[in-house]
């Protein structure tokens, strides 16, 4: 594991050369980038939710070279976060101004109603803060715990993120372009 400082990252983000996950491990896309909602309420969703198959796990990968900026083993946010779910986050800086966010929203076990254990979280995270990663390196897995288990994959632009509520769509679209990776088209966002 090599450590790297954020100052050594490029000024502009590179094009993504890898998908964030293997499409064959994903049962469905939950919320997509853009306006979403239910029960009469709407909100802007700044990412894409990737849901694993029931009873399976899905591995997530660095989409570009970068440095692990954040590893949070209990965000207290997202799916069932207000009910004690132990959700976790990995952020990878791919330039001085852009981070790729992976929020692993495991939720509560649909049978026991319990969260994943702290040991389970640690076993599911493959990287450490400050670690240099290459495009395609596995960074973590999400287990299926309930129907809503997913990874919220987001690419906010830090230059604008602090002053606005939502990610800048151009960076999300740029990252998925139309490149071939792992034998699958990177055109999940249209």
The per-residue pLDDT for range 64-102, each reduced to its tens digit, is 999 999 999 999 999 999 999 999 999 999 988 888 999
- The CA dihedral of 114, 61, 48, 44, to the nearest 10 degrees, is 90
> Any idea what the CATH number is for the domain that residue 40 is in?
2.70.70.10
3-class SS of residue 118: helix
Residues whose CB is less than 8 angstroms from the CB of residue 132 and which lie 6 or more positions away in sequence, other chains included: 1, 2, 3, 4, 65, 66, 67, 68
Does the residue 1 lie in any domain? no
Query: What are φ and ψ of residue 85, in 5° steps?
Result: -60, 145
The per-residue pLDDT for range 14-71, each reduced to its tens digit, is 778 888 999 999 999 887 777 777 778 887 777 889 999 999 999 999 999 999 999 9
Range of the domain at 37: 6-177
Under 8 Å between Cβ of 113 and 150: no
Does the residue 184 lie in any domain? no
Does the residue 183 lie in any domain? no
Under 8 Å between Cβ of 53 and 141: no
Element (H, E) at 45: strand 41-45
Neighbours of 123 (CB within 10 A): 13
* End-to-end CA gap in the chain: 36
User: For residue 153, what pLDDT band results from cuts at 50, 70 and 90?
Assistant: very high
Does the residue 85 lie in any domain? yes
Number of domains within the chain: 1
């Amino acid at each position: 594991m090599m450590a790297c400082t954020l100052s050594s990252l490029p000024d502009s983000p590179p094009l993504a050369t890898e998908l964030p996950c293997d499409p064959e491990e994903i049962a469905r896309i939950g919320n997509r980038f853009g306006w979403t909602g239910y029960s009469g309420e709407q909100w802007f969703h700044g990412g894409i939710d990737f849901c694993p198959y029931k009873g399976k796990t899905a591995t997530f990968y660095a989409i570009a070279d970068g440095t692990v900026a954040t590893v949070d083993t209990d965000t207290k946010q997202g799916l069932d976060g207000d009910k004690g779910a132990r959700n976790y986050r990995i952020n990878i800086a791919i330039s001085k101004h852009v981070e790729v966010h992976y929020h692993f929203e495991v939720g509560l076990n649909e049978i026991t109603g319990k969260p994943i254990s702290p040991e389970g979280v640690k076993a599911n995270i493959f990287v450490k803060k400050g670690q240099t990663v290459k495009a395609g390196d596995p960074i973590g897995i999400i287990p299926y715990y309930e129907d809503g288990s997913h990874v919220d994959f987001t690419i906010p632009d830090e230059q604008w993120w602090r002053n606005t509520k939502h990610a800048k769509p151009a960076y999300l679209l740029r990252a998925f372009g139309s490149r071939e990776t792992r034998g699958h088209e990177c055109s999940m966002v249209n």
